[in-house]
């Protein structure tokens, strides 16, 4: 299940429900559905519902607002006026929306060490990038999310505290690429290596006593949840 608001209907419903100050039971009563149906949508055990129209109406939004999510994400991000261009001919000015794009920043850290336990993942801001550069690394700005790295298991490639861009649509493993991986409710940033007879989840840190390779059988690979590929961290990976 996707953890990011772009690809998670449940997180969008929960975001709007809490914004309205409603409990799951309160929303269920307004939408005339069961509390269980709301719970299943929010925790991802149900990804679609014939009740989406009623739920959207109870939340005071359109069905498209919930199912698409783009407008909701924009509302959770800051204004372009909050940013200033550093350097160049336009130094000191706010970025032009014709030339720049804002990518949602999430309040979750990808662990470069012991896994980071996932709680509620919400948009907490945004970072601004040039559109022409974004188009060189992703098919669409809507495919990207920004998070922060935590830990040093991927050092020197990724350092503790670095901001990362993740392509949340790139979830098919390719050998030697770095991915944001969810295992048993915990997030990891690791390199996946195809060893023909198995996959290996590898840390780039040379200290293999602390950060050993983890072998993944074909069955194990089917149980991990790849949330996206890391495509940038202060430079293209």
Residue at 237 is within a domain: no
Residue at 205 is within a domain: yes
What integer is the mean pLDDT of 131-154? 91
* pLDDT, position 118: 46
What integer is the mean pLDDT of 107-116? 63
Indicate if 206 and 96 belong to the same structural domain.
yes
Indicate if 90 and 50 belong to the same structural domain.
no
Indicate if 211 and 104 belong to the same structural domain.
yes
Residue for token digits 């012991």?
A: 114
Q: Exposed (0-12), middle (13-18) or buried (19+): which is 80, by Cβ within 10 Å? A: middle
What integer is the mean pLDDT of 105-112? 73
- Whether pLDDT at 115 is above 70: no
pTM flag (> 0.85) = no
Q: What is the DSSP secondary structure assignment for residue 90, as one 8-state letter?
A: T
Q: How many domains does the chain have?
A: 2
Dihedral-angle region of residue 89 (phi above 0 means left; psi in -120 to 50 means alpha; beta otherwise) = alpha
Indicate if 151 and 203 belong to the same structural domain.
yes
Phi, psi of 36 (to 5 degrees): -60, -35
- Which of 45, 61, 76 terminates a domain? The answer is 76
Structure tokens at 194: 């195809």
Segments forming the whole domain that contains residue 40: 5-76
Per-residue pLDDT tens for 146-169? 998 989 999 999 999 899 999 989
Indicate if 41 and 139 belong to the same structural domain.
no
CATH of the domain at 113: 2.10.109.10
Per-residue pLDDT tens for 174-221? 999 999 998 877 889 999 999 988 999 999 999 999 999 999 988 888
Residue at 228 is within a domain: yes
Indicate if 104 and 176 belong to the same structural domain.
yes
Indicate if 109 and 90 belong to the same structural domain.
yes
* pLDDT, position 173: 93
pLDDT category at 93 given cuts 50, 70, 90 is: confident
Per-residue pLDDT tens for 29-70? 999 999 999 998 888 777 667 889 999 999 998 888 888 777
């Amino acid at each position: 299940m996707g953890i990011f608001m772009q690809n998670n209907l449940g997180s969008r419903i929960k975001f709007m429900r809490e914004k309205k100050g409603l409990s799951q039971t309160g929303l269920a009563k307004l939408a005339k559905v069961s509390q269980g149906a709301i719970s299943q949508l929010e925790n991802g055990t149900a990804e679609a519902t014939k009740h989406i129209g009623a739920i959207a109406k109870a939340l005071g939004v359109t069905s498209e607002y919930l199912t698409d999510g783009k407008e909701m994400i924009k509302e959770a991000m800051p204004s372009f006026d909050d940013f200033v261009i550093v350097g160049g001919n336009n130094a000191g000015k706010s970025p032009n929306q014709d030339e720049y794009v804002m990518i949602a920043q999430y309040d979750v850290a990808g662990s470069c060490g012991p896994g980071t336990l996932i709680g509620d993942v919400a948009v907490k801001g945004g970072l601004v990038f040039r559109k022409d550069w974004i188009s060189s690394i992703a098919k669409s700005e809507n495919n990207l999310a920004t998070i922060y790295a935590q830990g040093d298991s991927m050092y020197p490639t990724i350092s503790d505290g670095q901001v990362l861009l993740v392509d949340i649509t790139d979830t098919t493993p390719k050998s030697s690429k770095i991915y944001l991986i969810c295992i048993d409710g915990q997030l990891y940033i690791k390199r996946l290596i195809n060893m023909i007879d198995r996959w290996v989840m590898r840390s780039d840190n040379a200290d293999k006593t602390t950060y050993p390779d983890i072998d993944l059988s074909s069955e194990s690979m089917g149980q991990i949840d790849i949330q996206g590929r890391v495509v940038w961290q202060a430079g293209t990976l």
